Amino acid sequence: MNDQEKQARIDLAAALRWTARLNLHEAVANHYSVVIGDENPQILLNPKLKHFSRVKASDIVKFDLDATDVLSRPDAPDISAWYLHSHLHKQLPRAKVIFHTHMPDTLALACIKDFEFMMLDQNACRFYGRIAYDRDYNGLAIDDQEGERCAQLLGDGKSILFMGNHGVMIIGETIADVFDEMYYLEKAADTQVKVLASGREPAIIPDDIAEMACEQWHEYPGFSNYHFNELKAILDEEEPAYKN
């Protein structure tokens, strides 16, 4: 196993465990993936039906991205994980990492008819112009078409997909980046749910300010790495077995 794979396994296990700590997981469902290797790309996925809070680096399953017999193998991942993630990785090379969750406040917003994410606070501005919407819930994603549909929706530079009546898909370059995106998306969604529940009129940030704040977010060097390294340091102290 090379260093890239070793680190990806540790980071993925850390991201899964912190997702469970923050209560953003769903039972033993939901799936995260990362692509490693340039010439012969392989996909790492969380193991099927294992609780996020217990996943160790060695539990992560690995397949060639182009393999056709994955679902008949004993260590096969969840069927919808394979269809969605393998297609998205293949069709969107910039999606090195993909997290799919049903995290509660983001899901609540994805269940509002014709919802558009509001530029309501500083955290929301991070996502200015970066969210795509799938408003055609189609049942559980158990065929190739769902992955291709999601890839098309994310095609024009978006990195967040609100999956209507279902959840969210977040794509990015590194596990630290995508974890940080997930964290702030859910924080901003929590604020939006509370503001909507108040029944008072939301104070929307003007487009030009929201766009500037978005740029400022992305100019903050290495923030997601600092955040993720701190989270791993906590695991190192409290549950070091995640690295095994």
Binding site for Zn ion (CB under 5 A): 167
CB-wise, 43 or 119, nearer to Zn ion? 43
Residues 60, 61, 66, 70, Cα dihedral to 10°: -150
- CA dist 195 and 203 (Å) reads 9
CB-wise, 106 or 123, nearer to Zn ion? 106
Distance of CA 79 to CAs 70, 82, 144, Å? 9, 5, 11
Q: Name the residue whose CB lies closest to Zn ion.
A: 167
At closest approach, how far in Å is the CB of 24 from Zn ion? 13
Q: What share of the chain is helix, strand, coil (3-state, %, to 5)?
A: 50, 15, 40
Radius of gyration of the chain (CA): 18
CB atoms within 10 A of CB 114: 7
Report residue 159 as tokens: 């990195």
CB-wise, 169 or 210, nearer to Zn ion? 169
CB-wise, 95 or 125, nearer to Zn ion? 95
Residue 147 sits at the vertex; the CA angle it makes with 57 and 132, to the nearest 5 degrees, is 95
At closest approach, how far in Å is the CB of 70 from Zn ion? 19
At closest approach, how far in Å is the CB of 166 from Zn ion? 6
Residue 233 CB-density burial (10 A; 0-12 exposed, 13-18 middle, 19+ buried): exposed
> Are the CB atoms for 116 and 80 separated by under 8 Å?
no
At closest approach, how far in Å is the CB of 171 from Zn ion? 15
At closest approach, how far in Å is the CB of 34 from Zn ion? 18
At closest approach, how far in Å is the CB of 197 from Zn ion? 24
At closest approach, how far in Å is the CB of 242 from Zn ion? 24
CB-wise, 164 or 167, nearer to Zn ion? 167
CB-wise, 80 or 191, nearer to Zn ion? 80
CB-wise, 24 or 231, nearer to Zn ion? 24
Burial of 85-95, coded b for 16+ CB within 10 Å and e otherwise, reads bbbbbbebeeb
Max CA distance (Å), the chain: 55
